Amino acid sequence: MGNTVDTAKDAVTNAYINMFGVLGALEDLCRLSQAAKAFLPQPPLTICFAVKKGPAARLTFSDQGCVVMPGVGKSDIKLPFSSVEKFNAMIDGTATPIPSKGFMKIGYLLKNFTKLTKLLESFLRANDLALANAEYFDTSTTIMFYLIAQAAAQIGNHDTVGRFTVTNIVDGTAVLSVAGGGPKVALCFKNHVVSCSRQIPKDFNALMEFKDMKLARDVFDGKVNALACVGRGLIMMKGNLGMLDNINRILDRVAAYLA
């Protein structure tokens, strides 16, 4: 969270972030936003996104919310992509995929699914007027927190700079959290591979904790300098500081991908 490394983002890494970070954020959107519930189907419906030489996942929508499962499998609609670039173009809104299965159910994809993704975008790119509402602020910042953590894991596994950084991180777990009952995640490192978990282990190697949601948001939006916040005690870092230093290098890359 210092100076962003000036390295162009990689299309494959971007696809993994789009799959498990951006589309993955639909889980939190459906859980946290009352407005999202109006766009959930009954009976449940599963959409499979499969990218050639890239990520694959199934998103199951029901009146209970959204569940994201990695990999291909049974689905009502299947959307194949011949390249990571074409998948990224869909996420950017510049391409419309053609289903290989479930064409008769494409109505949900074109209508309510699209409304869900637009609602997600409104939370991720919220303006100051919207963020003045405390509940909206907390929902937006929570969704962003989990997305950034998932993006960091994907960068650590796929991005050239990220993978190099991960080779310098010993096996173990670092917890990123917001104090006062805010969101928290565990970044787990094993054999130079990163995974992101909502299950926080009792014992971990390092902790980086933001003082509150407003501070976390200001750091995410680039309004305050993270290192200065550490110096002022607004961001607490304890445990394996070398691990946290390398994680911050990965977080620097997140801004390049999510800009």
Q: Which of 207, 209, 148 is nearest to 178 (CA)?
A: 209
39 found inside a domain: yes
Question: Dihedral sign, CA of 147, 99, 116, 89?
Answer: positive
Same domain, 55 and 165: no
Same domain, 66 and 152: no
Cα–chain center distance at 197: 12
One domain, residues 25 and 49: yes
Single residue among 107, 124, 141 that ends a domain in this structure: 124
Q: Which of 96, 124, 152 is the last residue of a domain?
A: 124
pLDDT in the model for residue 3: 41
Q: 183 with 167, same domain?
A: yes
Provide, rounded to the nearest whole percent, the portion of the chain with pLDDT above 90.
85
Write the burial class of residue 83 (CB in 10 Å: 0-12 exposed, 13-18 middle, 19+ buried): middle
Contacts for 247 with CB less than 8 Å, ≥ 6 apart: 152, 169, 174, 176, 187, 206, 208
What pLDDT, on the 0 to 100 scale, is given for residue 7? 53
- Based on the fold, state whether residues 119 and 136 are members of the same structural domain: no
Instruction: Encode 15-29 in three state secondary structure.
Output: HHHHHHHHCCHHHHH
Q: Map tokens 């499979």 to a residue.
A: 48
Residues 133 and 250 in one domain: yes
Query: Would you state the pLDDT for residue 4?
Result: 40
What pLDDT does residue 184 have? 97
Residue 148 belongs to some domain of the structure: yes
The boundaries of the domain holding residue 132 are 128-258
| 80/42 same-domain check | yes
Encoded amino acid at 254, one letter: V
Q: Is residue 2 part of a domain?
A: no
Q: Are residues 112 and 31 in the same domain?
A: yes
Q: Looking at per-residue confidence, does 48 or 224 come out higher?
A: 48
Same domain for 252 and 135, yes or no, is yes
Question: Which of 147, 184, 165 has its CA nearest to residue 16?
Answer: 147
- pLDDT confidence of residue 221: 87
* Confidence band of 6 (pLDDT split at 50, 70, 90): very low
The whole-number average pLDDT for the span 235-256 is: 93
Assess if residue 157 is contained within a domain.
yes
pLDDT at 12 over 80: yes
Give per-residue pLDDT as tens, 196-207: 999 999 999 999
What mean pLDDT, rounded, does the chain reach? 93
Identify whether residues 179 and 201 lie together within a single domain.
yes
Region 20-48: mean pLDDT is: 96
What is the tens place of the pLDDT at every residue in 118-165? 999 999 999 999 999 999 999 999 999 999 999 999 999 999 999 999
Together in a domain, 56 and 89: yes
| Residues 84-125: tens digit of each pLDDT | 999 999 999 898 889 999 988 989 988 999 999 999 999 999
Token couple for 104: 């008769």
Q: Is the pLDDT of residue 43 over 90?
A: yes
Question: In the predicted model, what is the mean pLDDT of residues 3-24?
Answer: 83
Q: Which domain-ending residue is among 124, 156, 179?
A: 124
Residue 6 inside a domain? The answer is no
Nearest-Å Rg of the Cα atoms of the chain is 18
Q: In what order do the strands lie in the sheet with 184-190?
A: 193-197, 184-190, 172-178, 206-210, 235-239
Residues 38 and 137 in one domain: no
pTM check: above 0.75: yes
CATH number for the domain spanning 134: value is 3.30.1050.10
* pLDDT band at residue 2 under the 50/70/90 scheme: very low
The CA-CA-CA angle for residues 32, 92, 42, to 5°, reads 45
- Collapse the DSSP code of 77 into the 3-class scheme (helix H, G, I; strand E, B; otherwise coil) and give the result: strand
> How confident is the model at residue 227, as a pLDDT?
81
Domain count, the chain: 2
**Amino acid type, 145:** F
Burial of 59 (0-12, 13-18, 19+ CB in 10 A): buried
**Which helix (H) or strand (E) element contains residue 207?**
strand 206-210
Domain assignment of residue 4, yes or no: no
